[in-house]
Amino acid sequence: MTQGTGLRIAVVGATSLIGEAVIDELRARKVQFAQLHALEDERNLGRPMTDDAGEEQAAKLAVSDVAAFDFSSVDLVFFCGRSALSVRYAEAAAAHAWVIDGSAAFRTRSDVPLVAADVNPEALKGVGAHGLVALPGSASVALATVLGPLHAAAGLERAEVATYQAVSGSGRAAMDELAGETVAMLSGQKARGRAFGRQIAFNVIPQVDGFEPGGESREEARLREETRRVLDLPRLEINATAVRVPVFFGHSLAVHAKFQRSSTVSDAAALLHRSKGIALIDAAATLELPTPAVLAMAPDKVYVGRLRADLTRDCALNFWIVADNVRKCAAHNAVSVAHILVNRPQ
């Protein structure tokens, strides 16, 4: 990613899991930047950064107050923190710079492109020399990445999806909760159950975010609406159940997809092997299966396994998806979107 002698970049929410992952991703992909500003709101200013570049680099990247920052001094801003931060500052920053927002603040705005870089980069065509871009949630990115090429080949009609979402999707405090509860319960103590309103260690909770009046959770609604937008299929039928599981990193999805045209397992496998951002785990060639504890820790791909025909319906496939929710689906996607914006023909 290049622009002149180097981009001037700001990361808002720099001490969050995703903020730290974005900074790591910028360095891993050797992005040339003239300046890199780590910004936080007042309540997180004292939080130390976990910087994979080492103590010397971490010391150079001091965390500053976002409220006092002049966004006209940068070319590119990543918003990686709470939605409230994005609501307060993102649109003002977008008057001067490209703003890539990873929160849910602008995902439903029709005037703001919602982009998964491996799926719908063409949505960025309307963004000028500055402007606001929203990123889908991690489960939506993983799902759309796999459904996109399958839809192009066979015409997607419907998807039944169950997500098994890691606690890191709720931030660092939720990860600390899982670790603390696990230690406590192995020591014969009771779990606190604060982060999710109930015990998460050694448990499975069929709720991600709050419930709507009809019983659907907000995460299930987001998965449906975001996937529709990214795939440009506004009438796509998606029936989802979102579940929180005691895993630190890596969302998993069980998907049952119905298509307009027949697609054999071998044809679908060949297509996925060729598709961007996807690694297909072929059961016939390996004993490995996509699991969050193993393959999700290699965060450059969305992993697909258990690909098989649906024996109860024509033109239907079943498969399993695993992807690192913080690094692949959030940070890698954010930096990939920035790469497209910076390097497209002017």
What would the pLDDT profile of 299-320 be if each residue is shown by its tens digit? 689 999 999 999 999 999 999 9
Map 111-180 to HEC letters: CCCECCCCCCHHHHHHCCCCEEEECCCHHHHHHHHHHHHHHHHHCEEEEEEEEEECHHHHCHHHHHHHHH
Q: In the predicted model, is pLDDT for residue 288 greater than 90?
A: no
- Compute the mean pLDDT over every residue in the chain, rounded to the nearest whole number: 92
Band of residue 345 on the pLDDT scale cut at 50, 70, 90: confident
Q: Distances from the Cα of 339 to the Cαs of 29, 120, 132, 280, 323, in angstroms?
A: 10, 14, 15, 25, 21
The confidence band for 193, taking pLDDT boundaries of 50, 70 and 90, is confident
The tens digit of pLDDT for each residue in 20-70 reads: 999 999 999 888 889 999 999 887 676 666 655 554 455 568 899 999 999
What sign results for the dihedral spanned by CA atoms 63, 66, 72, 76?
Answer: positive
Highest-confidence segment of 2-16, 19-33, 291-305: 19-33
Percent of the chain with pLDDT over 90: 81
Indicate the residue type of 59. Answer: A
Domains in the chain (CATH in brackets) are: 7-135+330-343 (3.40.50.720), 139-325 (3.30.360.10)
The pLDDT of residue 195 is: 86
Q: At what angle do helices 138-154 and 265-274 cross, to 10 degrees?
A: 120
**Whole-prediction pTM value?**
0.93
The confidence score (pLDDT) of residue 60 equals 63
